Amino acid sequence: MSDVLIVGTVALDTIETPFGKVEKALGGSAAYAAFAASFFAKPSLISIVGKDFPKQYFRVLKKRGINLEGLKIDDKTFHWEGFYEYDMNEAKTIKTELNSIENFKVEIPEMHKDVRYVFLANINPEQQLEALRQINNPGLVVLDTMNFWINNKKEVLIDVIKKTDVLLLNDGEARQLFKTINLVKAANEALRLGPKAVIIKKGEHGALLFTKNKHFNAPGYPLEKIKDPTGCGDSFGGAFIGYLAKTKDLSEHKLRKAMIYGSIVASYNAEDFGLNKLKNLTVKDIEKRYKEFQSMREF
């Protein structure tokens, strides 16, 4: 059995940034998250791709030890096309072809139903809820989403949040969901819905962890060579839950360390297009940057 179950999208991404372009690169929230988690634990991926999904991409995922029992194949693969301008905090969408992901019926393979660590990566909250229904007794549920679902499926999303232990939002989403500019207020509102922890991701500015009476500030890593921020949030979430699954410890202390590992993998991810950087990343690289994160915070 795998340590971490990741539900989300697998996509073909066509991305342009001021530093270049890739066409139909391997992407999607679950692909990025599973990749990031694989440096710490054994992830399994619950998603769907189409018959057009390149054989080579299956190999890329398997090479990182990602279990693909729960990856269905039907119709065409979800395709996202977008671009970034110089302010790379915001992706602009050109085209979203949902294809097979639209009517994806989540089915958790029997062998994964007792998994302890569940990451509901960004996907339709109805599909996230269905996944939770099929899992027996998860020890930790981490949830990510996006502005599209806040706009279009807010009620279902709130239902999922109520069943979640750790909620991930970026700052814009947090402000939108709780109708306040103030991130502390937004986080407190979120905690009131049930989660034990709320993480607000702020892109290059790092991430904030809010628990009942505490907060923690994880720095962003100052990148000189950012090329493509696609998947940074998903990588953050994947590394975060991967590290927790590895340590089997949900103390405040470990949540903080998990955020640092999330920030590290996300910072590497931005250094090249798609999953190119993470494909060749090593645990040694991660530990090297961990030391840098320590040294850039000491005072």
Site residues for a second copy per CB under 8 A: 86-88, 181-185, 188, 202, 204-206, 208, 210, 214-220, 222-224, 226, 253, 256-257, 259-260, 295-299
CA angle 291, 292, 295 (to 5 degrees): 90
The answer to whether 6 and 44 have CB atoms below 8 angstroms apart is: yes
Which CB sits closer to a second copy, 171 or 234? 171
Least separation, in Å, of the C-beta of 292 and a second copy? 9
Least separation, in Å, of the C-beta of 267 and a second copy? 12
**H/E segment holding residue 45:** strand 43-49
Which CB sits closer to a second copy, 65 or 172? 172
Which CB sits closer to a second copy, 153 or 254? 254
- List the 197-201 sheet strands across, edge first: 71-73, 43-49, 4-7, 117-120, 140-143, 166-170, 197-201, 207-210, 215-218
Beta bridge partners of 201: 170, 207
Which CB sits closer to a second copy, 50 or 233? 233
Q: How many CA atoms lie within 13 A of 215 on its CB side?
A: 13
3-state secondary structure of 141: strand
Least separation, in Å, of the C-beta of 3 and a second copy? 22
Which CB sits closer to a second copy, 137 or 295? 295
Least separation, in Å, of the C-beta of 18 and a second copy? 9
Strands 43-49 and 71-73: parallel
The one-letter code for the residue type at 160 is V
Give the gyration radius of the chain's Cα atoms.
Answer: 17
Which CB sits closer to a second copy, 166 or 226? 226
**H/E segment holding residue 208:** strand 207-210
